[in-house]
Chain A
Amino acid sequence: MANPMPARAAEQSGTATSDAIVEVRDICKRYGDIEALRGINLEFERGKLTTLLGPSGCGKTTLLKIIAGLVPATSGQIRINGKVVTGPGPERAFVFQDFALMPWATVLRNVSFGLELKGVPQAERHRIAKHYISEVGLSGFEEKYPHELSGGMRQRVGIARAFSVNADVLLLDEPFSAVDEQNRRKFQEDLLQLVEKERKTFLFVTHSIEEAVYVSDRIVLLSPRPGRVSQIIEPNIDRSAAPDVIRRDKGYLDVVEEIWQGLRQYAE
């Protein structure tokens, strides 16, 4: 069931293969003396969920923000749909680790904020926002303020906001890190349903190996600073099975173990 593949990062540059929506070309990033990323080459296929996994401080957030156009790269290129981009754009939406919700605005206003910035008329943007609020399971909370919600619910607001702007690529930086374990599993299952339903490209950062294997089509392992691509794994999990079955599946557990072996060398 699992069919891990070794990384061939070097080969992937040059000719654009298949249907890559996001292309990362020779990205390097320095923060003063700190070299955060070195020579990253990656492609992200349309409609797939790719996870960035690696030890703390290896540059996962940095890479995601460079792709989002929020942080400038020191060198290298990001291409979206074949076009080089240097800043944020409507084809990408970011989900923040700390939710980045406006505390003075209701759930409805927060979710529709991306559309508000685009100049979508109020009635229209509220209609769209309400649709995604119910999609993430927050119906009835439209008029609540962020501080009235739990951490998990707040992140659902952040996800609904990202969906509302109808971006092709969703960038999620440890979206579930502030969510407790029971809710986390529910979240992962909900996320998979959304991936299935919305047919978008997801780039996902997490610290949890189990979470990565459970939700990903592809897992990119990064080495410690300076971050480089050390391995790419495709779990090939059969997601038609029930969540509990998947989590006990031999193939699933094997991939988890393999990643753990791959990352173990970096843990002291």
Chain B
Amino acid sequence: MKLFGFKVPMMTSLLFWALVWEVVGRMDVIFLIPPMSAIVSAGFELVATNSWQNASLVTLRSFVVGMALAIGVGVPLGIAMGRFKIVDNIFGLWVNMFVSAPLSALVPVLMILFGLGETTVVVTVFLFAVWIIVLDARAGVMQVPPSLIEMGRCYGASSITIFSKIILLSALPEILAGIRIGLIRGVKGVVIGQILVSIIGYGELFELYSRSFDMERFWALTIILFAAAMLLSAAVELFEKRIEYYAGAR
């Protein structure tokens, strides 16, 4: 970023907005916006509490289980759709419908189906994340150059070898991109699921803080969540970069 010809690091803009927030908070215009400094100190207190640690554990567990299911189902399904016309015909419509559907509206139905507990949150995470993983895995498999497969056949590779040594590796960049977007959607899923169920994890905390107008903690929790989502995305991106030497070169 450049400002008046000077190089400004990206963090500066973040600091700038934090400062604006601080000033607005100090002016005491609306109770919704407490000063940033108060939020930060509330955040430090928060992470030391038992309730936050328990909530984080529950949240993490729902997220990990939901994501594992989404990846475990999404990647194979996407690959199958990319390889076999029948599978594509059976699932294509549904996947395309769900990938852009407002899934939050489904959560109340899930609550009826799976009860007011962790299961519903896990299913929500799964539903938020799985579709984009399917679509990207499918796209990855479909863009494998036909000549690369012919090359494998020409040099005597079996179908299984062609699949494992050529198709899978060729599709890997797209599969990983899908997982990265899926992870971010999964974070949304876990938060929305918990808020709607509202008696577990961060949902319970959010419910508690907003009902008691504890805005400092409310914002502290929100910021922690944002930071976690961004860190997660950055971590996958770093991993993607490491294999980008070929993804970028295609």
Please report A residues at the B interface, Cβ cutoff 8 Å: 65, 68-70, 87-90, 92-94, 96-98, 100, 102-104, 113-114, 117-118, 145-147, 161, 165
Chain B, residues 37-53, CB within 8 Å of chain A (1/0): the string is: 00000000000000000
Q: How far is the CA of A92 from the CA of B170 in the complex (A)?
A: 25
Residues of A within 8 A of B169 (CB): 102, 104
Q: Is B150 within 8 A of A117, CB to CB?
A: no
Q: Is the CB of B150 within 8 A of A102?
A: no
Selecting from B12-20, B190-198, B242-250, the interface stretch reads: B242-250
- Please, which residues of chain B bring their CB within 8 A of the CB of A147? 245-246, 248-250
Chain A residues whose C-beta falls within 8 Å of the C-beta of B89 in the assembled complex: none
Complex CA gap A161/B156 in Å reads 13
Q: Which of A65, A118, A145 contacts B156 (CB 8 A)?
A: A118
Chain B interface (Cβ < 8 Å from any Cβ of A): 145, 147-148, 150-157, 161, 166, 169-170, 172, 243, 245-246, 248-250
Bound-complex Cα distance A165 to B243 (A) = 29
Q: Can you list 9 A-B contacts (CB < 8 A)? A: A68-B154, A88-B154, A90-B156, A94-B154, A96-B147, A100-B145, A104-B169, A114-B155, A117-B155
Q: Which applies to chain A's interface (DSSP): helix, strand, loop or mixed? A: loop
Judging by beta carbons under 8 Å apart, are B156 and A88 in contact? yes
Which 10 pairs across A and B sit closest by C-beta, in order of nearness?
A: A147-B249, A103-B246, A100-B151, A114-B155, A100-B147, A104-B246, A94-B154, A96-B147, A117-B157, A88-B154
Contact B249 A70 (CB under 8 A): no
Q: Is the CB of A145 within 8 A of B147?
A: no
Residues of B within 8 A of A103 (CB): 170, 246, 249-250
Q: Are A98 and B161 in contact (CB under 8 A)?
A: no
Chain B hits for A97, CB < 8 A: 147
List 4 additional A-B contacts (Cβ < 8 Å) besides A70-B154, A98-B147, A147-B246: A70-B153, A88-B153, A100-B150, A161-B155
Residues of B within 8 A of A165 (CB): 155
- Which A residues are in CB contact (< 8 Å) with B170? 102-104
CA A65 – CA B154 in complex, angstroms? 10
- Closest chain B residue to A171 by CB distance? B154
CA distance A100 to B170 in the complex (A): 12
CB-defined contacts of A92 to chain B, threshold 8 Å: 154
Are B246 and A145 within 8 A (Cβ)? yes
Partner of B161, one of A65, A89, A117: A117
B249 to chain A, nearest CB (A): 3
Residues of B within 8 A of A145 (CB): 245-246, 249
Q: Is the CB of B148 within 8 A of A102?
A: yes
Q: Which residues of B contact A70 (CB under 8 A)?
A: 150, 153-154
Most-contacted residue by chain A among B151, B153, B246, B250 (CB, 10 A)? B151
A-side contacts of B155, CB under 8 Å: 88, 93, 113-114, 117-118, 161, 165
Across the interface, do A117 and B246 meet the contact criterion of CB distance under 8 Å? no
Chain A residues with Cβ under 8 A from B151's Cβ? 94, 96, 100
Bound-state Cα–Cα, A65 to B150, Å: 9
Inter-subunit contact B154/A93 (CB<8 Å): yes
Within 8 Å CB of A69, what residues of B?
A: 154
CB closest chain-B residue, reference A92: B154
Q: How far is the CB of B144 from chain A (nearest CB, A)?
A: 11
Chain B residues whose C-beta falls within 8 Å of the C-beta of A161 in the assembled complex = 155
Question: Chain A's nearest CB lies how many Å from the CB of B154?
Answer: 4
**A114 CA to B246 CA, complexed, in Å:** 20
